[in-house]
Amino acid sequence: MFPTETSDTRPERLAPDWGWKGLAVLGAIMLLGGFTAFLNPFAASLTVEIVAGAAFLLAGAMQLWLAVTDRTQASGDRWLAGALGVAVVLLAVSLIVNPLAGLLTLTVLVALLFAVMGALRVAIGWRLRPREGWGWILASGVMSLALAAVIVVALPGAALGLLGLFLGIDLTVAGVVTLSLAVRRKPQG
């Protein structure tokens, strides 16, 4: 749905209408979670890994269920969908059964994600070269590539706390943004 002339797309209007107190509580909880993750990145990393394992298990089980029950697809397509479901369930089980190896796997995937995003940003920045702002996009790509390299060089030790640090950063930033929305919504006076 595209915004119309009468729709209000200000950031404070895009948030759910919990009132400023609800947003303040949510922001404070996020900040507390972020600071807790910073205090113990290893425990936060394990939490991320276990949640990811549970999500993959649920996704794999749903994929298998769809492969078995969806009679509208051809038999070969259902077999492929079932194979994908089995692969996702096996990944989930490996993450849950051996959390330390799962941390290493997820950290390598994060490094791969940074490398791919960085390479794409560098390519986009380079193609946009004469336009204004191309250097910022290129610099963002170089930063992502550097982060990927740092993660790879720091493996396997980086796997123990990196995901927890990312969780801490995400929760802290989300908490600050949510608190700022709460302050903007608070009635004056």
Structure tokens of 20?
A: 């400023």
Q: Render pLDDT for 10-46 as a digit per residue (tens, 0 to 9).
A: 655 665 566 788 888 988 999 999 999 999 999 999 9
Lowest mean pLDDT among 15-29, 60-74, 132-146, 161-175: 15-29
- What per-residue confidence (pLDDT) applies to 32? 94
Domain boundaries, the chain: 18-185
d(CA 169, CA 146): 18
Q: Which residue has the tokens 């276990």?
A: 50
Give the Cβ contact number of residue 162 at 10 Å. 24
Structure tokens of 5?
A: 């002339």
Helices 41-69, 19-39: crossing angle, 10 deg rounding: 110
pTM as predicted: 0.66
d(CA 173, CA 176): 5
Give the Cβ contact number of residue 95 at 10 Å. 23
Q: Render pLDDT for 92-115 as a digit per residue (tens, 0 to 9).
A: 998 889 888 888 888 888 889 989
